Amino acid sequence: LAKTTQPISMDSYEGQEVNITCSHNNIATNDYITWYQQFPSQGPRFIIQGYKTKVTNEVASLFIPADRKSSTLSLPRVSLSDTAVYYCLVAVYGQNFVFGPGTRLSVLP
Amino acid sequence: DTEVTQTPKHLVMGMTNKKSLKCEQHMGHRAMYWYKQKAKKPPELMFVYSYEKLSINESVPSRFSPECPNSSLLNLHLHALQPEDSALYLCASSQERSGQGGSTQYFGPGTRLLVL
């Protein structure tokens, strides 16, 4: 299984850009990288998914270097409501998601 | 529509009770999942159903019994649970088993279970 490593926690202030980096050194050729957001007592919510280079949607951007051994989730201009746990997952071909401990993001006023 | 619904939202049960958790999706997904999540921990996979057949059981105790009556429904039957089974139980679905072409799992809101 491709294991992921993320910072356990991060602090930011409202209006700042937040970048959360995830390491996945043994990612396989067919693996995609997926990020989820989870608020307390709620199910994880899909944020963004990518395979290589850069992906952008209405809430975030995902940067993946050529070697794909890491990825960076970028949240532009965070607000207090972005305080949550963010999980990086690598979809292993033929197997299933294994959630790592995630990154607990605290956005301060 | 990317909604997965779960009922009930909250459940309190004694160790001798029998109860069931229900999950439903109408996205035409063929893979459905049960996860267990303890406080301040990541979700842990319990079961995977693919095309209505149990494909993965992550060594879950037999007091948890999953059932997939059809492609839209997933149940988790609970019997003789222990207090340490208290947790948030999450259901998810995806178009196919995750890992094949980057399928995305969509999660329900969860059922908060308390075993007394």
- Express each pLDDT in B64-85 by its tens digit: 999 999 999 999 999 999 999 9
B56 touches chain A (CB under 8 A): yes
* Omega before residue B8 within 30° of 0, cis: yes
- For residue A5, give the nearest of A74, A82, A78, A99 by alpha carbon: A99
pLDDT at A94 over 50: no
Give B-chain residues touching A5 at CB under 8 angstroms.
none
Give A-chain residues touching B87 at CB under 8 angstroms.
none
B113 touches chain A (CB under 8 A): no
Task: Quote the minimal CA–CA distance from B41 to chain A in Å.
Answer: 7
- For residue A78, give the nearest of A14, A22, A6 by alpha carbon: A14
A91 touches chain B (CB under 8 A): yes
Residue B28, strand partner residues: none
Give A-chain residues touching B104 at CB under 8 angstroms.
34, 46, 49
Reported for A5-8, long-range contacts at CB under 8 A and 24+ positions apart, including other chains, are A5/A100, A6/A86, A6/A87, A6/A88, A6/A100, A6/A101, A6/A102, A6/A103, A7/A103, A8/A101, A8/A103, A8/A104
A42 touches chain B (CB under 8 A): yes
pLDDT computed for residue B2 by the predictor: 66
B102 touches chain A (CB under 8 A): yes
**Other beta carbons within 10 Å of B70:** 8
**pLDDT, chain B, mean:** 91
B7 touches chain A (CB under 8 A): no
A87 touches chain B (CB under 8 A): yes
Q: Cα(B17)–Cα(A42) distance, rounded to whole angstroms? A: 25
Q: Cα(B4)–Cα(B14) distance, rounded to whole angstroms? A: 27
- Residue in B1, B27, B98 to test binding to A, most A beta-carbons within 10 Å: B98
Q: Cα(B77)–Cα(B95) distance, rounded to whole angstroms? A: 24
pLDDT at A99 over 70: yes
Task: Quote the minimal CA–CA distance from A23 to chain B in Å.
Answer: 17
Q: Do A96 and B56 touch (CB under 8 A)?
A: yes
Q: Give chain B's residues under pLDDT 70.
A: 1-2, 97-103
Q: How far apart are the first and last CA of chain A?
A: 39
Question: Is there a contact between B4 and B106 (Cβ–Cβ < 8 Å)?
Answer: yes
Condensed to tens digits (0 to 9), the pLDDT of residues A5-63 reads: 999 999 999 999 999 999 988 888 878 888 999 999 899 999 998 888 899 999 999 99
Q: Do A94 and B97 touch (CB under 8 A)?
A: yes
